[in-house]
Structure 1
């Protein structure tokens, strides 16, 4: 494990690696010292470590609320996965003392989309697509996967059985032959049924809701709303999972910010001339140069192109 990364996304990835290792087995003296050095070397490290634990605890609380037992069987290994995060917080580690927890009975797989979209497969699922920055925990229970969406968004389809998706404050049982997009962002969660139907349960409600295609449910700590989306809004909602970004009268600066999330080659505005001009259209999320050329055609900007970035002035 390399701890020389300085970007926020790579720091988060290292933090999740440490939490996963702590769950896999107690750290030996050398590794415990390495973790302590990493935690104290940068305040961002301590924050990332706390975030990793907090995300896990939030997902664990929602699973417990729904009465979902935590399986004892280990999930099969995968080169794309990380070992399970442990349930009990080790926050004392960021204060200066590293706790060495007992091995957790909950073995699972953690998927972290750190570079663009991630495509994965699981039993009883069609293709699962994770958006940039998404962290997904997959548990095996009675021969079916269960999903804890810790942060970010995913597109998920079921085949023959119902599949549970837990978020902070919202739990969805996606029914057979159905598909949805789910999104978790801190204390807010939402899900959009693309086809078929799903059953939802919100933390602040006792009753279960039945959702059908085009139904969008959104939860906050204080409210639950359900809206039916039109076809145009549906197309816009799923664009990212198809490798596209659709903008409808969006400020150029905001469109660039969204596009830069997916690419190591960044678009840089060196002039504010077109920053707040509006742009609409559908663009490939992995083609920043194509987007920059559209800006040139529409607004007459100049491009300075290098391997590292695309300067727009």
Structure 2
């Protein structure tokens, strides 16, 4: 009988693999060896994710300098080098596409019996019993109900990024108002904010919205987005194809950042309010409508205010728990 590996040994091996991935793309032989290792024990996927999170946690999502001038996002000048990179390899094995956010507590838990929630400015990484993971954004909540025939998660409110590993016996279902979201494997984000329609974005793989096998079920493939209609019974719109840059901006919160591209300044201020108790007040209507583009640290509204003031020739003050912008 083969002796079962200890959790400590698995964690140490996972850390070695992450260190190897950090040094550069894997060769085909190394990639096959990693995939074989991950397939050997379901605990190894969770260990790989923990090692990845701890490694990335040291990469600070720092604030932008005061003189930063927001510029539009642009695609890379050249394609990435050949081989298997850290991100690609982790994504293929069902544990990747995750960055350890430095907004607050980064927690790794097992299957819960009750709701899991995050507070203001907190991001939590949850590893489920099957190796699937959920990263909860600030002020979010979910409930997990795993059974013999289905893996079911209900997003109560907020925003979550799901990484689903295959299980031929049990589909992965996210309960949404009116329609379930089903996935066999892949990565996707669901956003369910108060007063706004449910927003689904697929990063990798594909998910079905609606009951499997029904005529009104909709397939969402990689790099697509679908906003559910508010009114019950309204036909679903056609999924919108989006660029990889758009996907990266929408998921920037996993790295402790907020990305804007042409958003109104007052909309940007409202987004910052999801992450910090420091309010951004804009006391000039014309300034509130100015478009903002750039990547900003979610935990630093003051740094955002200084950057905006320098670009739009505005005045910034910080008092009474608020960042005040005027002209």
Asked whether the 8 Å contact 1:113–1:134 carries over to 2, the reply is yes
Match of 1:111 in 2: 116
User: What is the rounded CA distance, in whole Å, between the counterparts of 1:207 and 1:310 in structure 2?
Assistant: 47
Instruction: Find the counterpart in structure 2 of residue 23 from structure 1.
Output: none
Retained in 2: the 8 A contact 1:216–1:228?
Answer: yes
What is the aligned counterpart of 1:152 among 146, 158, 162?
A: 158
Instruction: Give the corresponding residue for 1:3.
Output: none
Distance 2:216 2:287 in 1: 49
Match of 1:179 in 2: 187
Question: How many angstroms does 1:112 deviate by?
Answer: 2.6
Give the conservation status (yes or no) of the 8 Å contact 1:168–1:187: no
Query: Which string of whole-angstrom CA distances, capped at 9 and with x for unpartnered residues, describes residues 193-215 of structure 1?
Result: 21122233169x64444332113
Q: Residues of 2 paired with 1:218 and 1:274: CA distance? A: 29
CA contact (8 A) 2:150 2:173 kept: no
Contact 1:119 1:127 in 2 (8 A): no
Output the CA distance in 2 between the equivalents of 1:285 and 1:187: 21
Is 1:216 matched with 2:234? Answer: no
Structure 1 CA distance for aligned equivalents of residues 120 and 179 of structure 2? 27
Deviations 1:149-186 (A, max 9, x none): 1222210101243421111022122223x100112357
CA–CA separation in structure 1 for the residues paired with 2:196 and 2:319: 40
1:255 aligned to 2:268? yes
Question: Where does structure 1 lack aligned partners over 5 or more consecutive residues?
Answer: 1-79, 81-106
Q: Return closer, same or farther for 1:208/1:275 CA change in 2, 3 Å cut-off.
A: closer
SS of 1:109's equivalent in the other structure is: coil
Alignment partners' CA distance in 1, 2:260 and 2:151:
34
Shift of 1:145: 4.4
Q: How many residues align?
A: 207
Counterparts of 2:196 and 2:271, CA distance in 1: 22
Gap change, CA 1:216 and 1:250, over 3 Å in 2: closer
1:248-273 per-residue CA deviation (whole Å, 9 max, x = no partner) reads: 22221221121122101222224445
**Where does 1:68-83 land on structure 2 (aligned, <5 Å)?**
none
1:201 to 206, 210, 222: 210
Q: Which residue of 1 aligns with 2:253?
A: 240
Partner of 1:169: 178
The match for 2:201 among 178, 192, 202 is: 192
Decide which moves more: 178-187 or 213-222.
Answer: 178-187
Match of 1:139 in 2: 145
- Of structures 1 and 2, the one scoring higher in RCO (CA 8 A, sep 6+) is 2
Q: Is the 8 A contact 1:168 1:184 kept in 2?
A: no
In the alignment, does 2:295 pair up with 1:268?
A: no
Following the alignment from structure 1 to structure 2, what is the Cα–Cα distance between the partners of residues 132 and 253? 20
Q: CA 1:148–1:294 in 2, change beyond 3 Å: closer, same or farther? A: same
Answer yes or no: is 1:280 the counterpart of 2:293.
yes
Using a 3 Å threshold, how does the CA distance of structure 1 residues 245 and 207 change in structure 2: closer, same or farther? same
